[in-house]
Amino acid sequence: MTAESTATWSSLSARELEQRLTTLLAAHGGALTRLASSYVGATPDRDDLVQDITVAIWRALPRFRGECSERTFIFRIAHNRAIAYITRRQLPVQDTEGEIDVEDRRPNPEESLSADQQGRRLLDAIQRLPVHHRQVVTLMLEGLSYGEIADVLGISETNVGARLTRARQMLRARL
Amino acid sequence: MQDMDLELEQWQRHWRAQEAVPPDLAHSVEAGTRRMRRGVIAEIANTVIIGGGALAWAVVSRRADVIVFAIAVWILLAIAWAVSLLLRRGAWQPVTATTTAFIEISILRLERGLQAIWIQAVLYVVILAFDLVWLFYYRGESSVGEFLMRPAVLFFLLIVTPLVAAAAMWYRRRLLRELTNLRSVRL
């Protein structure tokens, strides 16, 4: 991102900003919705949360300085809004280490499940992770690098690595 | 390590398999589908009221000019139906529940909407011209100039037509703006 394009972002008209927002949402809308699902599940709350995130991105767009990628920028906003949302709505936040792993006693259906069903199962397992582990896992699954995840969450790359290792162990146990 | 990467790839595949369409896009496509349904209901109502009315009038009056009018009404209704069926073909729902498919269906509907504006404009001109000619003969007018200066005719020519044209141009600009936005985000 160059200084010129940064200047352009802050001086865009409302209509141009709207176009940028549409472009961003088309490119990352699916990822934002999955991210919202990891916090509130595939419920009507998810649509509310995505709406909340969209409004927050819209408000923040003029302040985008190009110090990070657009993807990092919107994921950072999305995670902050998601935390604020579940806190405001007093939705359950599993913020403990969650050592008690409930074993899935269903017969091993791995082979017969469709990719979509496996996705739902994965979402279910991710939702039961503590928030700080959930955050790194969802960002990793969206293909962000350690550096980008660190940037989104405001933690060090070493910390990202440690959380990811632990989160993957927990996920493996739950799947 | 390799196993772990395979595991990660598999999780990523499963994660992205729950293809989530952004709610705004999904809601806008659903709203479009509802509008299309309402459009069909309105066209059925038009056919019953206008077509049925013209037919009933022709049957009751048994006058040649009214029968010509009823035939013309039914020809125009048939053309309108053929056009609307063609324009709605394949535009009822996205082919899959993916963002790309939802964007594609939105683009298709906007393109069809733009085509519909031109077709409706042509139909409007044809209907107006036919009605004026028919009225001229039906009322037994002798002077075209006098007929065109009648308040009802002037009202349609100088007020209704410009208003309809302005509304169509405004709507066309709106559709074009939406189309440009959507084409720029085509994945």
Q: State the CB neighbour count (10 A cutoff) for residue A135.
A: 25
Q: State the CB neighbour count (10 A cutoff) for residue B174.
A: 12
CB contact A40 to B (< 8 Å): no
Q: Would you say A163 and A136 are in contact if contact means Cβ atoms under 8 Å apart?
A: yes
Alpha carbon B27 to its chain centroid, in Å, reads 20
Do B25 and A29 count as a contact with CB atoms less than 8 A apart? yes
Per-residue confidence (pLDDT) for residue A105, from 0 to 100: 41
- Over residues B4-46, the pLDDT tens digits come to 588 888 888 888 776 566 667 778 888 999 999 999 999 999 9
Per-residue confidence (pLDDT) for residue A49, from 0 to 100: 87
Give the residue numbers spanning the domain of A41.
Answer: 3-88
Long-range CB contact pairs, B60-67, < 8 A, 24+:
B65/B134, B65/B137, B65/B138
Q: How many helices (H) and strands (E) does chain B have?
A: 8, 0
What domain count does chain B have?
1
Kindly state the DSSP code that residue A27 receives in the 8-state scheme: H
Specify if B174 maps to a domain. Answer: yes
ipTM above 0.95? no
Specify if A47 maps to a domain. Answer: yes
Per-residue confidence (pLDDT) for residue B25, from 0 to 100: 78
* Chain A residues with beta carbon closer than 8 angstroms to that of B12: 141, 143
Q: State the CB neighbour count (10 A cutoff) for residue A17.
A: 16
Specify if B29 maps to a domain. Answer: yes
Q: What's the gap in Å between the CA of B179 and the closest CA on chain A? A: 11
Helices A44-60 and A70-88 pack at an angle, to 10 degrees, of: 130
Confidence class of residue B157 from pLDDT cuts 50, 70 and 90? very high
According to the per-residue pLDDT averaged within each range, which of A76-90, A96-110, B136-150, B162-176 is highest? Answer: B162-176
* Chain A residues with beta carbon closer than 8 angstroms to that of B186: 26
What domain count does chain A have?
2
Q: Are residues A58 and A125 in the same domain?
A: no
Specify if B120 maps to a domain. Answer: yes
CATH number at residue A143: 1.10.10.10
Confidence class of residue B167 from pLDDT cuts 50, 70 and 90? very high
Do B21 and A27 count as a contact with CB atoms less than 8 A apart? no
Specify if B20 maps to a domain. Answer: no
Tokens 């996705």 label which residue? Answer: A119
User: Can you read off the two tokens belonging to residue A145?
Assistant: 């690098």
- Give the CA distances from residue A138 to residues A16, A38, B45, B54, B126, in Å, rounded to whole numbers and listed in that order: 30, 8, 51, 64, 59
The single-letter code of the amino acid at A29 is G
Do A51 and B13 count as a contact with CB atoms less than 8 A apart? no
* Chain A residues with beta carbon closer than 8 angstroms to that of B21: 29-30, 33
Q: Are residues A55 and A121 in the same domain?
A: no
Specify if A96 maps to a domain. Answer: no
Do B17 and A19 count as a contact with CB atoms less than 8 A apart? no
Residue B116: pLDDT above 70?
yes
Specify if A104 maps to a domain. Answer: no
Q: Are residues A60 and A121 in the same domain?
A: no
Specify if A14 maps to a domain. Answer: yes
Residues of chain A below pLDDT 50: 1-5, 95-112
Specify if B144 maps to a domain. Answer: yes
Tokens 């949302």 label which residue? Answer: A85
**CA B21, CA A31: separation in Å to the nearest integer?**
9
Smallest CA-to-CA distance from B113 within B163, B55, B177 is with B177
Q: Are residues A76 and A135 in the same domain?
A: no
The single-letter code of the amino acid at A41 is G
CB contact A141 to B (< 8 Å): yes
The single-letter code of the amino acid at A123 is L
- Over residues B46-86, the pLDDT tens digits come to 999 999 999 999 999 989 999 999 999 999 999 999 999 99
Specify if B166 maps to a domain. Answer: yes
Specify if A140 maps to a domain. Answer: yes
- Over residues B87-105, the pLDDT tens digits come to 999 899 887 766 777 888 9
Helices A115-127 and B2-17 pack at an angle, to 10 degrees, of: 100
Q: Are residues A144 and A75 in the same domain?
A: no
Specify if A128 maps to a domain. Answer: yes
Per-residue confidence (pLDDT) for residue A106, from 0 to 100: 42
Indicate the range of A87-91, B143-147, B153-157 predicted with least confidence. A87-91
Helices A157-174 and B2-17 pack at an angle, to 10 degrees, of: 80
The pTM for the full model equals 0.55
Q: Are residues A56 and A133 in the same domain?
A: no
Per-residue confidence (pLDDT) for residue A2, from 0 to 100: 43
Give the residue numbers spanning the domain of B108.
Answer: 25-184
Do A34 and B16 count as a contact with CB atoms less than 8 A apart? yes
Task: Tell me the backbone φ, ψ of residue B135, rounded to 5 degrees.
Answer: -60, -40
Among A52, A72, A88, residue at a domain's last position = A88
Per-residue confidence (pLDDT) for residue B97, from 0 to 100: 67
Per-residue confidence (pLDDT) for residue B18, from 0 to 100: 66
Q: State the CB neighbour count (10 A cutoff) for residue A50.
A: 25
Per-residue confidence (pLDDT) for residue A116, from 0 to 100: 59
CB contact A131 to B (< 8 Å): no
Per-residue confidence (pLDDT) for residue A84, from 0 to 100: 87
